[in-house]
Amino acid sequence: MCLIAFAYQSHPTFPLIIIANRDEFYERPTAAAAFWEDAPMILAGRDLKMNGSWLGVSTSGRFAAITNYRDPSRPESGELSRGEIVQTFLSAKQGTSSFIDELREKRALYGGFNVLLYDGVALHHYNNVVDEHHIVPPGVHSVSNATLNTAWPKARFAKEVLQTAITAETVDTTDLISLLANEQIAPDETLPNTGVGIHLERALSAAFVNLPNYGTRCSTAITFQQNGTIQLLERTYEQGQLAFDTAYEIKS
C-alpha cells in the first residue's frame, strides 16, 4: 500500500472514511478482498507470497493499513513480514497502545513501514523508521511512503480530494473509489528526493502509478458509520486496467 487518505471524526455520520491505493509489482500473487477462511473475522485482501495483508477491517470494528517507508539505503524487507502486523491486529483483542508498545520492541525486525490502527475508540499511527507514535487527532490526514502528513504531492492531492468529498451530506464508497485514479505526474520542483532517481520519482509521484512492471494493483474505499456498519469497496486493476470490483458490508 502506497497511498492512504482518511477523514477521522470529520463527518457527522461517518467517524472514519478511508481511501487507499496499493502499489506493488504485478507479478506478486494477491487475493482480492474477502473474509479469510482461516481467520473469518478478517475482511481484507491478501498477499499470497507472505499470507499477510496491506489493509483490512474486522467484524469487531477494527481497521489496519500499512505502507512501506521509501529509503533505498535501508533493506527492503526484514526478518518479519510487515503484512503480519495488519493480520495480527485485526484478529486481536489487545489494546492499540500496548500492541504498538510490543511492535516497537521488535521494530528492527521489519522493513520500514507506517501503520494505521483503529480499534473503534482511537486511531493510531506508528512509523518504525523514525520510531514515532501518534494518537491521530480529528481531521483529514494522509500517509504515503514517508510518514504521517508528509507533504509529498500525491499525499497532498489525496487529502484535498477527500476533504472535498466529505463535504457531502452522505458519503458512499462508490463515490469515493475513483478519487485516487489520477495518473498526473507532479512537477519536478515539488518532488521529494528519496534516492530512487528523478525518473522513478516522477512516476511514483502520481496517485495512481502505472509502470510496465509495477503499479497500482487496487484501490479501496471504506466507510465506518455511527451505527457500526462498515462498508468496503475494492477495485482491482491488472497492469493499469480495471479488472473488477468487490464490495462487502459488516453490520454490528
Residues sharing a CB contact under 8 Å with residue 101, sequence separation 6 or more, in sequence order: none
Q: Please check whether residue 210 is in contact with residue 240, taking contact to mean a CB–CB distance below 8 angstroms.
A: yes
Task: Report residue 186's pLDDT band, with 50, 70 and 90 as the boundaries.
Answer: very high
C-alpha angle 229/68/109, rounded to 5°? Answer: 105
pLDDT in tens, 92-104: 999 999 999 999 9
What pLDDT, on a 0 to 100 scale, did the predictor assign at position 72?
A: 87
pLDDT band at 203 (very low <50, low <70, confident <90, very high): very high
Is pLDDT of 1 > 70?
no
What's the CA gap between 154 and 224, in Å, rounded?
24
Q: pLDDT tens, 32-86?
A: 999 999 999 999 999 999 999 999 999 999 999 999 999 988 878 889 999 999 9
CATH number of the domain to which 7 belongs? 3.60.60.10
Q: For residues 145 and 153, is the Cβ–Cβ distance under 8 A? A: no
Task: Output the CA torsion sign for 123, 6, 50, 44.
Answer: positive
pLDDT at 73: 84
pLDDT in tens, 137-160: 999 999 999 999 999 999 999 999
What is the per-residue DSSP string for the chain?
--EEEEEES-SSS-SEEEEEEEEEETTS-EEEEEE-SSSTTEEEEEETTTS--SEEEETTS-EEEEEE---TTS-SS-SS-THHHHHHHHH--S-HHHHHHHHHHTGGGS-SEEEEEE-SS-EEEEETTTTEEEEPPSEEEEESSSSTT---HHHHHHHHHHHHHTTSSS--HHHHTTTT---PPPPGGG----SS-HHHHHHHTSSS-B-SSEEEEEEEEEEE-TTS-EEEEEEEEETTEEEEEEEEEE--
pLDDT of residue 8: 98
Q: What is the amino acid identity at position 98?
A: S
Q: How confident is the model at residue 199 (pLDDT cuts 50, 70, 90)?
A: very high
**Confidence band, pLDDT 50/70/90 cuts, at residue 162:** very high
Domain count of the fold of the chain: 1
Task: State the pLDDT at residue 138.
Answer: 98
pLDDT value of position 50: 95
Q: Which three cell numbers stand for residue 139?
A: 481531521
Interatomic CA distance for residues 80 and 50, integer angstroms: 10
Asked if residue 239 lies in contact with residue 217, where contact means CB atoms within 8 angstroms, the answer is: no
Query: What pTM, to 2 d.p., does this model score?
Result: 0.97
Cβ distance 62 to 94 under 8 Å?
no
Amino acid 101: pLDDT: 97
pLDDT tens digits, 5-35: 999 999 999 999 999 999 999 999 999 999 9
The range of the structural domain enclosing residue 210 comes to 3-250
Predicted local confidence at residue 74, as pLDDT: 84
